[in-house]
């Protein structure tokens, strides 16, 4: 049914005679009406909101109207309707532009557009605030095609008014005064007047224009401007004044050393550098410290005069001057050059450079230590000296120390330190100790780990490990401790003994509890020494109970460690252990008692002489010697008949060293007793060799002469008696001895070597013919004659004289060979000694020696020998 009616209506219309345009016009009219409404309604709303801004009765209403307007029409969007807003401004006033933020956008477009249009300038001049006029002026200055618009506006407003408005709106922006040149022609008086404006930016604007004028009055005005209170004005005038050449120089120098503002002084220095370097030489000018500091602040990196001036100022006692000088010298690379030019073969220059660089560090200028070449090590030594001072006086930073470490450790890679380079290494370690940080400690730890088997470097490293970094080094040192072939064990033990017990104790007890002394004695005893050196009361019992593991030769060292504990604590624990059944603990404890110097244990030691255990008895007899109980020892000769051999041996050795005459007689009998063991007899002999009594030498000489089995031991013991009185006694015995005994004593003197030589020479001076061959033979064997011959070439005449005199006592071919060489000595007294020596050659043996020297391979020897023979033949002795 619906379709029927629709088709009926359409057919009815088609049947009517309606023009075609009418059918088209209606929809078009509707569309136009809609478009109009779309434009009209927003426009009316837009204008309505603008009017609310204009018609606001108070500030609150105005703020609300502006806020609503900006919400719908932000300035970024509004700028697209600049033409419409310009029209509305003519209708409603410029407030609509200013209050909506559009004015700022117009000014921004004028200032930043690369090619602003004339209409942009007009909008700013006609509708924007007066504060925007200077922006318009700048745009006209920059774009000549806008100048006519600006000039026309200026003429319309009046030049004087515009100049004042521009001065007020200027805020110190720089401008090239091309357009403003014309201001000078008709408004010079106004410009002079404006230089007295209270606002600095007005004065700045005027002075910038007056700089174009050469009038005398203008120059005077600019002179006043050089003292303006605003630094930007003074700086601008300094950069642009064009007075007499000499006058400008004086102004620039005055501003450089007197103006309180850095930017003004900088401007003066820059202009001096461009125009007045022929006059600039600060080292020739007398200045106060304040003036000097201002010059130093503005030195030129490319100016040689400035470098010389700064280097001189670096040595000033004034730290402010030194700081500015150091900063400049660092910037120009002079400090780095001063560091890197050092060489190890020029210690004077190195010392001077360190002194200068130290002055830079004292004012906290240290950048030159950040990176530098190692060279031959001179720069490293200089840097190490600079950084190794105490924390309160050293300069540089921990980072600089790390740089130094890396360079030094690399420098010594595969290189042994020499006397010239050793200080580099040690000073670097001192720098780490005094001023290092965690990173520097880690670098030392890496170096330490690499040097585990290098004794030379370990000797430098171990004593210089920073104590405040114990935790860093402890794992490495523990590894060293467990290395049985570690080369510096005593030093390692000493270092670990100073570490914090919290770090040390767990590891030491681990080694002691798990270790077997007989299998790894060195590591075990090292841990025990460290435990003893910590001196903790609760460790003493543990140390004492482990003493049996200690070898006799190490007992003294442990005794010194234990002596450091509190006496009452030691006595209590020691008496408890002496009463214990363990013989090993008792013996080892008795062995160290003399070292503790605690006499309260004397009764315990004496009673231990009768102890059931032989090791305790041995320890007791040795302890009595340690306590100096010689009288009591001489009463204990009965122990020489102890049933246990090692007890007899210990007793024999002890009494032999310090026994009296009665004890010596008993010992003599022991050496002659055919029933005594060889071990005990040898012990007596070696003990006598370490003694100091005359009876002991007599016993040993008798054994040497009569006991073939023990002769070698007696000879060794006698050679140990090198005290002056012992050698004198042996020489007296030698004098009176039969030839057979003399032959047996000669090896003793030879073994004594340099200890016996002075006494033998004194005997030779007595000219005992029967003894001379023996003693000369001894001196030849010990190398003494060769040493005397070498002294003939000494630069000191008195040494050569003594050498010639001593050689004259020897009648051997080597002695005469040396004498003939000295025959032509430049010193007369030496020659006299030679002649006197030759006078003694009047025997067939001496002639035979000289005849042999005539065939010597050395031409000088042959020549001087002929001379000596001629002297003997002519008997022309002086």
SS3 247: helix
- pLDDT at position 189 is 85
Under DSSP, the state recorded for 80 is: G
Tokens of 867: 């001379």
Place of tokens 């309160």: 392
pLDDT score, position 856: 59
CA–CA separation, 474 and 486 (whole Å): 15
Dist CA 515 CA 523 (whole Å)? 8
Q: How many CA atoms lie within 13 A of 259 on its CB side?
A: 28
Q: Which residue has the tokens 């690369």?
A: 114
Q: Which two tokens stand for residue 847?
A: 């002639």
CA distance 423 to 409: 13
Assigned token pair, 831:
């020659």
CA distances from 344 to 350, 381, 385 (A): 8, 8, 13
Residue (of 716, 771, 776) closest to 748 by Cα position: 716
Query: Which CB contacts under 8 angstroms, 24+ apart, belong to 468-476?
Result: 469/436, 469/438, 469/441, 469/444, 469/445, 470/499, 470/500, 470/503, 471/503, 472/438, 472/441, 472/442, 472/445, 473/441, 473/444, 473/445, 473/448, 474/499, 474/503, 474/504, 474/507, 476/445, 476/448, 476/449
Question: Which residues 6+ apart lie within 8 Å of 599 measured at CB?
Answer: 627
What would the two tokens of residue 551 be?
């070898």
Residue 448 falls in which region: left (phi positive, over 0), alpha (psi -120 to 50) or beta: alpha
Quote the CA–CA distance of 827 and 842 in Å, as a whole number.
25
Q: What separation, in Å, do the N-terminal and C-terminal C-alpha atoms of the chain show?
A: 175
Structural contact between residues 496 and 504, judged by C-beta atoms closer than 8 angstroms: yes
* Token code pair at residue 582: 């363990």
How does 580-602 read in b/e, with b if 16+ C-beta sit within 10 Å?
Answer: eeebebbbbbbbbbbbbeeeebb
Return d(Cα 818, Cα 200) in angstroms, integer: 101
Local structure of 128: helix, strand or coil: coil
Instruction: Report the 10 Å Cβ neighbour count for 154.
Output: 23
Task: State how far the alpha carbon of 520 is from the alpha carbons of 474, 484, 512, 549, in Å.
Answer: 21, 7, 11, 11
Full 3-state SS string of 326-346 = HHHHHHCCHHHHHHHCCCCCC
338 φ/ψ angles, rounded to the nearest 5 degrees: -60, -35
CA atoms within a 13 Å half-sphere pointing along the CA-CB vector of 813? 10
- List the structure tokens of 52: 């609310």
For 806, what's the count of Cα atoms within 13 Å in the CB-facing half-sphere?
Answer: 26
420: DSSP letter: T
Rg (CA), the chain: 54
Give the dihedral sign, CA 707/711/713/716.
positive
pLDDT, residue 766, reads 64
Q: What three-state secondary structure class fits 523?
A: helix
Question: HSE of 157 in the Cβ direction (CA atoms, 13 Å)?
Answer: 18
The SS3 of residue 431 is helix
Find where tokens 């000097």 sit. Answer: 292
How many other β-carbons are positioned within 10 Å of the β-carbon of residue 757?
20
List, for the chain, all residue ranges whose pLDDT scores fall below the cut of 50: 1-11, 13-14, 844, 875-878
Distance of CA 746 to the CA centre of its chain: 59
Whether the CA torsion 726, 728, 731, 735 is positive or negative: it is negative
Contact partners, residue 652, CB within 8 Å, separation at least 6 = 640, 667, 670, 680, 683, 684, 687
Residues 6+ apart with CB under 8 A from 44: none
Q: Are 608 and 617 in contact (CB under 8 A)?
A: yes
**DSSP string for residues in 556-568:** HHHHHHHTTS-HH
- In this prediction the pTM is 0.64
Residue 328 · residue 306 · CB < 8 Å:
yes
Q: Which burial class, exposed, middle or buried, applies to 703 when counting CB atoms under 10 A from its CB (0-12, 13-18, 19+)? A: buried
867 Cβ contact list (under 8 Å, min separation 6): 820, 823
Contact in structure between 94 and 126 (CB atoms under 8 Å): yes
Provide the 10 A C-beta neighbour count for residue 46.
18
CA neighbor of 606 nearest in space, from 618, 596, 621, 593: 621
What SS3 class is residue 494?
helix
Integer Cα distance of 677 and 670 in angstroms: 9
Cβ pair 463, 481 in contact under 8 A: no
């Amino acid at each position: 049914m619906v379709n029927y009616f629709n088709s009926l209506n359409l057919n009815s219309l088609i049947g009517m005679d309606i023009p075609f345009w009418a059918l088209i016009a209606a929809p078009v009219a509707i569309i136009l009406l809609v478009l109009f409404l779309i434009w009209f309604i927003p426009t009316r709303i837009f204008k309505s909101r603008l009017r609310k801004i204009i018609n606001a009765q108070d500030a609150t209403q105005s703020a609300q109207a502006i806020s609503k307007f900006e919400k719908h029409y932000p300035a970024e969007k509004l700028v697209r309707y600049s033409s419409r807003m310009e029209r509305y401004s003519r209708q409603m006033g410029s407030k609509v532009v200013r209050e909506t933020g559009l004015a700022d956008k117009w000014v921004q477009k004028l200032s930043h557009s690369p090619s602003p249009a004339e209409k942009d300038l007009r909008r700013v001049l006609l509708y924007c605030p007066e504060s925007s006029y200077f922006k318009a002026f700048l745009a006209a200055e920059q774009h000549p095609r806008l100048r006519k618009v600006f000039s026309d506006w200026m003429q319309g407003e009046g030049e004087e008014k515009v100049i004042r408005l521009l001065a007020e709106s200027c805020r110190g922006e720089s401008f090239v005064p091309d357009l403003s040149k014309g201001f000078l022609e008709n408004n010079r008086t106004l410009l002079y007047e404006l230089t007295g404006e209270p606002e600095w930016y007005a004065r700045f604007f005027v002075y910038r224009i007056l700089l174009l004028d050469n009038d005398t009055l203008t120059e005077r005005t600019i002179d006043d401007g050089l003292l303006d209170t605003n630094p930007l004005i003074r700086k601008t005038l300094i950069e642009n004044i064009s007075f007499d050449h000499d006058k400008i120089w004086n102004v620039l120098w005055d501003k450089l050393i007197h103006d309180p503002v850095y930017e003004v002084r900088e401007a003066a220095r820059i202009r001096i550098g461009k125009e007045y370097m022929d006059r600039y030489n600060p080292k020739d000018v007398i200045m106060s410290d304040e003036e000097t500091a201002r010059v130093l602040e503005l030195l030129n990196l490319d100016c040689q005069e400035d470098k010389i001036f700064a280097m001189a100022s670096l040595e000033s006692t004034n730290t402010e001057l030194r700081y500015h000088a150091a900063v400049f010298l660092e910037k120009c690379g002079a400090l780095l050059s001063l560091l890197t030019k050092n060489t190890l073969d020029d210690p004077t220059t190195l010392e001077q450079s360190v002194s200068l660089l130290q002055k830079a560090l004292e004012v906290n200028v240290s950048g030159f230590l950040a990176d530098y070449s190692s060279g031959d090590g001179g720069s490293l030594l200089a840097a190490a000296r600079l950084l190794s001072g105490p924390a309160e006086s050293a300069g540089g930073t921990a980072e600089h120390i790390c740089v130094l470490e890396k360079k030094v450790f690399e420098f010594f890679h595969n290189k042994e330190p020499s006397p010239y380079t050793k200080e580099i290494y040690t000073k670097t370690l001192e720098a780490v100790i005094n001023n290092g940080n965690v990173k520097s400690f880690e670098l030392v730890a890496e170096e330490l780990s690499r040097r585990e088997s290098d004794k030379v470097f370990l000797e430098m490293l171990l004593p210089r490990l920073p104590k405040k970094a114990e935790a860093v080094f402890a794992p490495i040192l523990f590894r060293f401790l467990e290395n049985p072939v570690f080369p510096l064990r005593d030093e390692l033990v000493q270092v670990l003994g100073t570490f914090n017990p919290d770090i040390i104790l767990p590891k030491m007890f681990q080694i002691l509890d798990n270790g077997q002394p007989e299998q790894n004695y060195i590591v075990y005893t090292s841990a025990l020494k460290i435990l003893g050196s910590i001196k903790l009361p609760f460790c003493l019992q543990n140390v004492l109970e482990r003493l049996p593991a200690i070898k006799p030769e190490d007992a003294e060292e442990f005794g010194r460690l234990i002596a450091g504990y509190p006496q009452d604590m030691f006595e209590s624990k020691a008496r408890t252990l002496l009463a214990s059944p363990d013989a090993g603990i008792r013996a080892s404890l008795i062995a160290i008692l003399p070292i503790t110097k605690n006499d309260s244990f004397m009764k315990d030691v004496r009673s231990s002489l009768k102890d059931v255990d032989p090791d305790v008895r041995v320890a007791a007899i040795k302890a009595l010697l340690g306590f100096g109980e010689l009288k009591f020892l001489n009463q204990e000769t009965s122990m020489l008949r102890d049933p246990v051999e090692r007890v007899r041996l210990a007793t024999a050795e002890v009494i032999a060293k310090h026994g009296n005459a009665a004890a010596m007689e008993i010992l003599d009998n022991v050496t002659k007793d055919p029933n005594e063991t060889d071990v005990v007899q040898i012990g007596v002999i070696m003990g006598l060799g370490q003694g100091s009594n005359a009876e002991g030498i007599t016993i040993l000489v008798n054994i040497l002469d009569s006991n073939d089995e023990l002769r070698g031991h007696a000879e060794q013991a006698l050679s140990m008696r090198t005290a002056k009185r012992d050698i004198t006694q042996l020489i007296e015995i030698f004098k009176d001895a039969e030839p057979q005994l003399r032959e047996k004593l000669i090896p003793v003197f030879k073994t004594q070597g340099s200890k016996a030589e002075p006494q033998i020479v004194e005997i030779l001076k007595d000219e005992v013919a029967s003894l001379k061959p023996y003693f000369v033979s001894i001196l030849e064997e010990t190398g003494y004659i060769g040493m005397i011959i070498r002294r003939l070439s000494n630069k000191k005449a008195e040494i050569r004289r003594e050498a010639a005199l001593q050689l004259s006592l020897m009648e051997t071919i080597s002695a005469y060979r040396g004498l003939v060489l000295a025959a032509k000595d430049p010193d007369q007294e030496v020659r006299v000694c030679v002649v006197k020596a030759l006078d003694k050659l009047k025997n067939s043996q001496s002639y035979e020696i000289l005849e042999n020297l005539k065939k010597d391979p050395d031409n000088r020897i042959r020549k001087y020998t002929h001379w000596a023979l001629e002297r003997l033949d002519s008997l022309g002795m002086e």
